[in-house]
A = this chain, B = another copy of it.
Amino acid sequence: MPDLHLDVDRSRGVRAGLEHALREAIRALPPATRLPSSRALAAELGVARNTVAEAYSQLVQEGYLTGNSGAGTQTAGATQAPAQHVALVREPRVRYDFRPGRPDVSTFPVAAWHAATRQVLNTRPHEALQYDDARGPAYARAVLASYLRRVRGVQAAPDQIILCTGVRQAIGLFTQTLGRLGVRSFAYERPGQAAIPEQVKRAGLEARPIPVDKHGAVVEALGDAGGVLLYPASQFPMGVPLAPARRTEVLHWARSTGAFVLEDDYDGEFRYDRQPIGSLQGLAPDVVAYAGSASKTLAPGLRLGWLVVPLPLVDAVIDEKTWSDRHSDSLSQLTLAALIASGAYDRYVRSSRLRYRRRRDDLIRALGNYRVNGTAAGLQTVVDLPPEQDEHAVLRTLAEHGVETFGLSHFGAGLPPALVLGYGAQPQHAWAPALSALAAGLRSAHL
């Protein structure tokens, strides 16, 4: 008979505390170990015998114990488990964050978000928090359709919009849909977001890189691909817009081959020296899908994204979304819609744009005579390195100064050495010291 060492926490009731303590004890015992009788254990613990009997019976139901009061109670055979505890691994803290694709979340509009949440929860119909359409709440889609039309020239009826978990999911839904419809290959810009080729392959498609030059993606390289992901407003990470002739050319390609274009408008709201360039989707909503998010304008952690789908594909993408996660969080989507409808979203985007523009100007000054590209838009800039420089050596030197960023090689193979410096991520109050650290790091690297 084992000595059970039961540590019964009575704060939640004797019965619950006893069951909990028994489960813990049983896990440490070999199978078929006989337990004390309910009478003996009750006496030992100073509780009612019935309490012990009920706890034993409960654990028989749960499979921890076998037997009954007649034959004696024993541990069941399947309760030993290997040790399950793993230390929590935390990413090392980045002191000066120049990683591209990250906004400053320290200025997140907390008060406006609260007000919008309150408005949603206090005025919503009950059904708003029930299971909803796979595309997300109809009201949120209607507000977004009008916002995207006004700000980005997107042509979308609310029924064509699938609210989703960021652009990552939008790309997944779209490429999976094409895969199920029989498309074999999908092109992407190189350099581009590092995750794309793997994501395309996981959708069952061949991932085909196309090059990028000073006019943006070289669309004549598209060949017989069944679709392509493009950054028309501002190439990631190079920052150039897709030239007008290329826009026309890619639409012609899509229409004549039956292919579809997916426009990743990842930071279309941030353009500094001129009007933003309208979306490609607005020109050809029949062959261009449009993906965007609030990841750069509000915060990536909210995972608020959207996909505007050409009509012939809407049903298939709804299917894909339904089977992947039913729909995305309605409350945060309705909150975003309230933020847009009240004008608070536009105000925050405007103030962010001014802040980032100042940072870009600071960065260009700090970089002195280095050759800097792609400064007209977005949240990052590309600094060419001399051809003999080793990107990784420069990144290591910067890391010694507490600066984290990426080399261009992170975004595609076969590219000249360069740094991709994001100026969004750093919290505003630590921007000046970050810039000094970057300058010091670049001096150490003899750049």
Instruction: Please report A residues at the B interface, Cβ cutoff 8 Å.
Output: 12, 15-16, 19-20, 23, 27, 54, 58-64, 66, 76-79, 81-82, 84-91, 102, 105-106, 108, 110, 113-114, 117-118, 121-122, 126-133, 138, 142, 150, 153, 155-160, 164-166, 168-169, 172, 195, 198-199, 202, 241, 244, 247-248, 251-252, 255, 274-275, 277-278, 280, 282-286, 299-304, 311, 323-332, 425, 427
B241, A85: Cβ atoms closer than 8 Å: no
Contact call A126/B110, Cβ cutoff below 8 A = no
Q: Would A78 and B330 count as touching, CB distance under 8 A?
A: no
Min C-beta distance of A394 to chain B, whole Å? 24
Query: For A326, what are the chain B residues with a Cβ–Cβ distance below 8 Å?
Result: 165-166, 168-169, 303
CB neighbours (8 Å) of A62 from chain B are: 153, 244, 247, 277-278, 282-283
**Contact between B81 and A102 (Cβ–Cβ < 8 Å)?**
no
Bound together, the chains give a CA A153 to CA B88 distance in angstroms of 21
Which chain B residue lies CB-closest to A333? B301
Decide yes or no: A110 and B121 within 8 Å by CB, A64-B283, A299-B130 being known contacts. Answer: yes
A159 touches B330 (CB 8 A): no
Q: Choose from B66, B78, B117, B299 the contact partner of A255 (Cβ within 8 Å).
A: B78
In the assembled complex, how far is the CB of residue A413 from the closest CB belonging to chain B, in whole angstroms?
20
**Chain B residues closer than 8 Å to A110, beta-carbon distance:** 121-122
Question: B84–A285 contact, CB under 8 A?
Answer: yes
Q: How far is the CB of A144 from chain B (nearest CB, A)?
A: 13
Q: Which of A113, A118, A166, A278 has the most CB of B within 10 A?
A: A278
A275–B58 touching, CB < 8 Å? yes
B contact residues around A113 at 8 Å (CB): 121
Contact assessment for A325 and B60 in the assembled complex, using a CB-CB cutoff below 8 Å: no
Q: Which of A64, A81, A280 has the most CB of B within 10 A?
A: A81
B129 touches A301 (CB 8 A): yes
The residues of B that contact A153 with a CB separation of less than 8 Å are 20, 23, 62
Measured between beta carbons, the chain B residues less than 8 angstroms from A168 are 323-326
Are B159's CB and A61's CB within 8 A? Answer: no
A157 vs B158: C-alpha distance when bound (angstroms)? 42
Inter-chain contact A155/B81, CB cutoff 8 Å: yes
Complex CA–CA separation, A131 to B168 (angstroms): 12
30 A–B contacts, CB within 8 A, in A order: A15-B275, A23-B278, A58-B274, A58-B277, A59-B278, A66-B244, A81-B285, A81-B286, A82-B286, A84-B156, A84-B157, A84-B311, A86-B157, A86-B311, A87-B159, A88-B158, A90-B138, A105-B126, A117-B117, A129-B301, A130-B301, A166-B325, A169-B324, A169-B325, A172-B323, A172-B324, A199-B323, A301-B330, A302-B330, A303-B326
Q: For the complex, what is the distance from the CA of A398 to the CA of B317, rounded to whole Å?
A: 34
How many Å from the CB of A146 to the closest CB on chain B?
Answer: 12
Partner among B102, B155, B331 whose Cβ is within 8 Å of the Cβ of A332: B331
Selected from B82, B280, B327, the residue in CB contact (under 8 A) with A303 is B327
Partner of A325, one of B58, B78, B118, B165: B165
Pick the contact of A78 from B78, B198, B252 — CB < 8 Å? Answer: B252
Give the residues in chain B near A160, CB-CB below 8 Å: 84, 86
Say yes or no: A129 contacts B105, CB within 8 Å. yes
CA A111 to CA B441, docked complex, whole Å: 49
Q: Which chain B positions have C-beta within 8 A of A198?
A: 323
A286 to chain B, nearest CB (A): 5
Beta-carbon contact of A248 and B77 below 8 Å: yes
- Bound Cα distance from A15 to B274, whole angstroms: 11
